[in-house]
Amino acid sequence: MSIDLVLNGLQQGLVLAIIAYGIMIPFRFLDFGDLTADGAYPLGGAVCAVCIMGNVHPIVAIAISMVCAGLMGICTALIHLKYRINSMLAGIILSTMIYSVNLRIMGKPNVALFDCGGLFGSDIYTNMLVIMLFLLICMVPFALFLRTDYGLRFRAVGLNPGLAKLQGISIAKYTIFGLFIAGSSFGLAGSLMVQLQNYMDVGIGVGILIHGLASLMIGEAIVGNATLNRQLLAPVLGALVYQQIQGVALSFGLAPSDLKFFTGSIVLLVIALKCRESKG
Amino acid sequence: MVQLQGVNKSFSGVFEPVLKKINLSLGKGEYCVVIGANGSGKSTLLKIISGEYEADSGSVSRRGDVSQVVQDVNKGTIPAMTMLENIALSGMKMPRFAFYKRHKSDILDKVRSLNVGLEKYIDNPIGVLSGGQRQTIATLMALNSGSRILLLDEHTSALDPKMQRLLMEYTARSVREKEITTLMITHNMEDALNYGDRLIMMHRGRIVEDLSGPRKSQLTIQKLLDMFHRFEDQTMVGDGGFNVD
């Protein structure tokens, strides 16, 4: 396994960490099975691509992408809260719908951004530093928020909704807020990936949820989630490890077309190990 | 603080109403103990007051927030959160964008005042504590919530006799100091006699005895047990209680 493969894995892993982090928020803090990632991630990418083609500054393009993807998260929350549609179904429906929206935004299935300029250059170390900075900008305020009065109430919503209601906590408000943050993270990851690859394809979101979920589960299997710090560390560590596992598999001759099967197998394996552990 | 007038409550599949024409008025700071056999309607009465159930007919009014402690500690606490976080959450009527750990010393003082040595677990997830310890913390959380009405449903059932006594005394002292209107369900006749200003006995959905003042203070365990068995014996020779379809 070459050093380039390791470095590329780390770079991709940092972007994936943002996705896994977005997946963690509804799944672990709100007990809300959210599948919006498959739609919000390419939405962020599409909006960013169009903005960059329109000579919008890359940072502004990222901010616009985050807001758009965050709004998609809010839509998922509202569909679930208003019409009592299962949260996962709401996410799937919206992700399906957003595919058409992305095509409308871009005007065609894929766009190249090679001559448009972007945030990233050819130096992989600088690129990693930039992505890490964005990851920290996402994580640190949220980690601090969770330690405030409002953060405590936010966590209570997922851990014991009945008690949260008794405490006068609005489940709807915190769910909408949580899904906005999660959606924004997917949008951020999508826009960073598009700028990193200088290319946007409408299909980049297919299966991204399962990659993020695998990362989160691997991270939780390594560091656990018994404390808040461990829970917050899990998606980052998991994404970095997961990308390296993929790199190792590819270097051992796994065909890229088999990667999704490989990913699903990892998720099943981690779930099976967790089940065995809890029974034992 | 709490006013129930002509409250009736039935459940589908149960022929006899669970509550029948309940009239009950609880004043500010009043501490009322409810006893009665299983299925007499005690917990339903409590859930009507808390708002968890709606009355089929009659009126229910409550002036102030309601806190409750139930037997199932999983409902009253968050096992994955630490003791500090659980208690901080319960006392948070006006949340702020400030770190909740600022409450730590106040909360530690409150836990110490229980005098049961639980303060050493302040930073541990509450799920690792025993059922009885969690019931104790759930009671402290309810007392800490600032609510004007407190509903206790056998809140000491998971405790050993010594801890039961300590928690009952702590509860009585706290509700007296804070003038919290309290309704407590218990199966322990001694507690029913020793605590509270008022004693209510329920039987098949009705309040059959309502004792306070000298009538309550003159009661003995034997008299109370006789009273309890008299109603139960009536049920035995009657139509056999509830019929479930």
List the single best residue of A29, A142, A148, A166 to mutate versus B (max B Cβ within 10 A).
A166
- Phi, then psi, of A144 in degrees rounded to 5: -70, -40
Interchain CB distance below 8 Å, B78 and A152: no
Binary contact (B75, A162; C-beta < 8 A): yes
Residue A108 pLDDT exceeds 80: yes
pLDDT at B61: 92
Residues of A in contact with B78 (CB under 8 A): 155-156, 159-160, 163
Please give the average per-residue pLDDT across B54-77, as a whole number.
86
Residues in chain A, overall count: 280
| pLDDT surpasses 60 at B122 | yes
**In this model, does residue A107 exceed pLDDT 70?**
yes
Cα separation, A107 vs A105, in Å, equals 6
- Among A123-132, A138-147, B5-14, the minimum mean pLDDT is found in B5-14
Q: Are residues B51 and B93 in the same domain?
A: no
Cα nearest neighbour of B95 on chain A:
A149
> Residues B55, B76: one domain?
no
Tell me: pLDDT of A140 over 50. yes
Chosen domain end from B147, B177, B210: B147
Instruction: Give domain status of residue B160, yes or no.
Output: no
Residues of chain A in contact with residue B80, where contact means CB-CB under 8 angstroms, are 159
Instruction: Give me the pLDDT at residue B239, please.
Output: 44
| Beta-carbon separation of B89 and A151 below 8 A | no
CATH at residue B203: 3.40.50.300
pLDDT beyond 90 at A162:
no
Any CB–CB contact under 8 A between B88 and chain A?
A: yes
Q: Is residue B165, in this structure, part of any structural domain at all?
A: no
Query: Which ranges of chain A does DSSP label H, i.e. alpha helix?
Result: 3-24, 37-53, 58-83, 87-106, 124-145, 149-159, 161-166, 171-197, 208-223, 228-251, 259-279
Contact B88 A150 (CB under 8 A): no
Chain B residue with Cα closest to A162: B75
Question: The domain containing residue B11 runs over which residues?
Answer: 1-64+192-240
Domain count, chain B: 2
Given a contact cutoff of 8 angstroms between Cβ atoms, the answer to whether A16 and A75 are in contact is: no
Q: Which residues of B touch A226 (CB under 8 A)?
A: 125
In a domain, B157, yes or no: no
**Residues on chain B touching A173 (C-beta within 8 angstroms):** none
The answer to whether position B1 is within a domain reads: yes
The residue among A183 and A277 whose pLDDT is bigger is: A183
Mean pLDDT (whole number) for B71-76: 79
* Residue B241 clears pLDDT 50, i.e. is over it: no
Q: Which residues contact B105 (CB under 8 A, 6 or more apart)?
A: none
Task: Say whether B89 and A147 touch across the interface (CB within 8 A).
Answer: no
Provide the pLDDT confidence category of residue B243 given band limits of 50, 70 and 90.
Answer: very low
C-alpha to C-alpha distance for B204 and B187, rounded to whole angstroms:
16
Residues of B in contact with A166 (CB under 8 A): 67-68
pLDDT value at position A194?
95
Shared domain check, B142 and B76: yes
Average pLDDT for A221-241: 92
Any CB–CB contact under 8 A between B75 and chain A? yes
Contact B99 A163 (CB under 8 A): no
DSSP characters for chain B? Answer: -EEEEEEEE--TTBSS-SEEEEEEEE-TT-EEEEEE-TTSSHHHHHHHHHTSS--SEEEEEE-S-EEEE-S-HHHHS-TTSBHHHHHHHHT-SS--SSBGGGGHHHHHHHHHHHTSSGGGGTTSBGGGS-HHHHHHHHHHHHHHS--SEEEEESTTTTS-HHHHHHHHHHHHHHHHHHT-EEEEE-S-HHHHHHS-SEEEEEETTEEEEEEETHHHHT--HHHHHHHHHHHHHHHHHTT-S--B-
Q: What 3-state DSSP class applies to A69? A: helix
Q: Which two tokens stand for residue B57?
A: 């007919």
Mind listing the pLDDT tens digit for each residue in B167-210?
899 999 999 999 999 999 998 888 888 888 899 999 888 998 89
Instruction: Let me know whether B90 and B139 are in one domain.
Output: yes
Q: B96, A148 in Cβ contact below 8 A?
A: yes
Q: Do A160 and B96 touch (CB under 8 A)?
A: no
Closest CB to A149 among B81, B90, B100: B100
pLDDT at B245 over 50: no
Mean pLDDT of B66-70: 85
What pLDDT digit, counting tens, does each position of A44-67 carry?
999 999 999 999 999 999 999 999
Count of beta carbons in the 10 Å neighbourhood of residue B108: 15
Q: Is residue B57 part of a domain?
A: yes
Whole-prediction pTM: 0.82
Across B35-39, average pLDDT = 88
Does B25 score more than 90 pLDDT? Answer: yes
B25 and B92 part of one domain: no
Do B83 and B56 sit in the same domain of this protein? Answer: no
Q: Determine contact: B65 vs chain A, CB below 8 A.
A: yes
Is residue B73 located within the same domain as residue B142?
yes
In this complex, the residue of B93, B99, B125 whose CB is nearest that of residue A147 is B99
List of chain A residues whose C-beta atoms are within 8 Å of the C-beta of residue B92: 149, 152-153, 167
Q: Does B120 reach chain A within 8 Å, measured CB to CB?
A: no
Domain boundaries, chain A: 3-203
Q: Classify the complex by whether its ipTM is higher than 0.85, answering yes or no.
A: no
Contact (CB<8Å) B95/A150: yes
Q: Which residues of A touch B149 (CB under 8 A)?
A: none
CA angle, corner A40, sides to A38 and A44, nearest 5? 125
Same domain, B74 and B143: yes
Partner-chain contact A149 B97, CB within 8 Å: yes
**Burial of residue A3 (number of CB atoms within 10 Å: 0-12, 13-18, 19+):** exposed
Q: Do B98 and A166 touch (CB under 8 A)?
A: no
- For chain A, give the percent of residues with pLDDT over 70: 99
| Amino acid identity, position A18 | I
> Which pLDDT score, from 0 to 100, does residue A232 have?
94
Flag if B99 and A148 touch (Cβ within 8 Å).
yes
At CB < 8 Å, which residues of chain A contact B?
Answer: 147-153, 155-156, 159-160, 162-163, 166-168, 226
* pLDDT band per the 50, 70, 90 thresholds, residue B234: low
For residue A186, give the nearest of A18, A12, A17 by alpha carbon. Answer: A18
Does residue B164 lie in a domain region?
no
Categorize the per-residue pLDDT at A280 as very low, low, confident or very high, splitting at 50, 70 and 90. low
